[in-house]
Amino acid sequence: MAEIKPDIETFARIKVVGVGGSGNNAISRMIDSKIKGVEFVAINTDAQALHHSKAQEKVHIGKNLTKGLGAGMNPEIGRQAAEENRDEIQEVLKGADMVFVTCGLGGGTGSGAAPVVAETAKELGALTVAVVTKPFSFEGAQRRQIGEEALQNLKDRVDTLITIPNDKLLSIIDRKTTLINAFKIVDDVLRQGVQGISDLITKPGIVNVDFADVRAIMHDSGSALMGIGISSGDNRAAEAAKAAINSPLLELSIDGAKGVLFNISGSSDLTMLEINEAANIITESIDPNAKVIFGAVVDDQVKKGEIHITVVATGFDAERKKESLLVNRVSLNKSATVEEKENEVEAEKEVVETKKERITFPSRKLETKMIIEEKIQPKSITSSAKSEEIEEEDELEIPAFIRRKMEK
């Protein structure tokens, strides 16, 4: 019997793009971890580094600009290199429903090219998520500055921006950890961030999540935070959940998030009661009005007896914008109140003046009428009388309340 293929693909098409040296290393680690259901793309200015990448697809950018060398910690070179090969980047990203852009900020290629890659992915209609690291403090002020500028450039070009400060990793590594191993841990955190989200979509699980659910949480959500919890033993579910929501990687508490996505993964011994326990701990720690998407999968790569939980909290920017608008509105109201008061004072002055006019002018008309009546009486008028009348008429041109003061 012939196999019937469904017209609609079961899963969304996901591409993970590693940009620059750190990004390339991160996706090589993801490939080693056998992340399923995603396609990997390596993008770099450095031809040699690109040659060693394990990615299925590779894009060598800036061939004419850097002649196969790196960007030399110059993000402008990285940006120009990406622009030079923008058509190739666009071609390799075509057809993707979701694109992860991963890199280490602070260098030239990652910091300069990643925003161009992200922008291209978003223009193609893909849900675009950047998972990036900020440099260690010991890497120097210049790298930190480059990293901060790159972060701002990325922010406006992605749907969700997950930032991992490398300095935070110092609290979860041993004092004896070598520099090489420390950077491997950085790569592995990037892997966990991408895998924690992609597994929800690509792996059939105990609790399944649709791509539309993930899009609802991550589309145009701005800055996001990621927490990771791993535990084993009798109380592993609760401990892993608490570790994830209190992760050193989280710079803020997740209770301010407007959207939370979390993934619970374990080996074949993962139970439904454990999933329920972990989910309750996480949902009780967030805003009751927040959107929550979660899934649970059995993963052969997880050591037997362990539970891994990845939490992604989104929507912090929306809350900040709201607060900013509220502050502006209060400020505007204050300004409006001052203006209104000033207008009220002016209006009161006008009313007073109008009232004065209304009191004064009828009086003038009455007096004028009396004088006219006197004028039309037939009698002889001497020159002195005429002079007195002129003086009287001049006085009538002065408002009554001023004349009364003059008489005093």
Residue 250 is predicted with a pLDDT of 78
Given a cut of 80, is residue 379 above it in pLDDT? Answer: no
- What sign results for the dihedral spanned by CA atoms 335, 337, 338, 340? positive
Is the confidence at residue 62, as pLDDT, over 60? yes
Q: What topology does CATH give the domain 222-317?
A: 60s Ribosomal Protein L30; Chain: A; (3.30.1330)
**Largest Cα–Cα separation, the chain:** 136
Examine the pLDDT at 48 and tell me if it is beyond 60.
yes
Q: What pLDDT is stored for residue 202 in this prediction?
A: 86
Closest of 186, 131, 134 to residue 159, by C-alpha: 131
CA–CA dist 295, 208 (Å, integer): 5
Backbone φ and ψ of 213, nearest 5°: -65, -45
pLDDT, averaged across the chain? 80
Q: How far apart are CA 5 and CA 17, in angstroms?
A: 29
Is residue 353 over pLDDT 50? no
Mean pLDDT value of segment 29-36: 88
Of 200-209, 215-224, 349-358, which has the strongest mean pLDDT? 215-224
Which two three-digit tokens encode residue 160? 């969700």
pLDDT at 7: 44
For residue 238, pLDDT beyond 90? yes
pTM, whole model, 2 decimals? 0.73
Residue 151, both tokens = 């972060």
pLDDT band (50, 70, 90) for residue 186: confident
Instruction: Report CA Rg, the chain.
Output: 37
Percent of the chain with pLDDT over 70: 75
Name the token pair of 198.
């992609």
Whether residue 161 has pLDDT greater than 60: yes
User: Rounded distance, CA 89 to CA 103, Å?
Assistant: 16
3-state secondary structure the chain: CCCCCCCCCCCCCEEEEEEHHHHHHHHHHHHHCCCCCEEEEEEECCHHHHHCCCCCEEEECCHHHHCCCCCCCCHHHHHHHHHHCHHHHHHHHCCCCEEEEEEECCCCHHHHHHHHHHHHHHHCCCEEEEEEEECCHHHCHHHHHHHHHHHHHHHCCCCEEEEEEHHHHHHHCCCCCCHHHHHHHHHHHHHHHHHHHHHHHHCCCCECCCHHHHHHHHCCCEEEEEEEEEEECCCHHHHHHHHHHCCCCCCCCHHHCCEEEEEEEECCCCCHHHHHHHHHHHHHCCCCCCEEEEEEEECCCCCCCEEEEEEEEECHHHHHHHHHHHHHHHHHHHHHHHHHHHHHHHHHHHHHHHHHHHHHHHHHHHHHHHHHHHHCCCCCCCHHHHHHHHHHHHHHCCCHHHHHHHHC
272 and 206 in contact (C-beta within 8 Å)?
yes
Tokens of 41: 């793309």
pLDDT tens-digit series, residues 132-153: 999 999 899 999 999 999 999 9
Question: Domain boundaries in the chain?
Answer: 11-202, 222-317
Q: Is pLDDT above 70 for 11?
A: no
- Alpha-carbon distance of 361 to 397, in angstroms, equals 10
Q: What is the pLDDT of residue 249?
A: 80
Place 239 in a pLDDT band, splitting at 50, 70 and 90: very high
Gap between the Cα atoms of 334 and 393, Å rounded? 51
Given a contact cutoff of 8 angstroms between Cβ atoms, the answer to whether 295 and 204 are in contact is no
Task: Please report where in the chains the tokens 């454990």 appear, as a residue.
Answer: 274
Which are the contacts of 116, defined by CB distance < 8 A and separation ≥ 6?
Answer: 79, 82, 83, 86, 89
Residues 52 and 72: their CA atoms lie apart, in Å, by 19
Confirm if 108 and 72 have CB atoms less than 8 A apart.
Answer: yes
Q: What is the pLDDT of residues 263-308, one digit of tens each?
A: 999 998 999 999 999 999 999 888 888 899 989 988 888 889 999 9
Q: Domain 11-202 is of which CATH architecture?
A: 3-Layer(aba) Sandwich (3.40)
CB atoms within 10 A of CB 216: 14
User: pLDDT category, 371, cuts 50, 70, 90?
Assistant: very low
More confident residue, 318 or 358: 318
Cβ 259 vs Cβ 282: under 8 Å: no
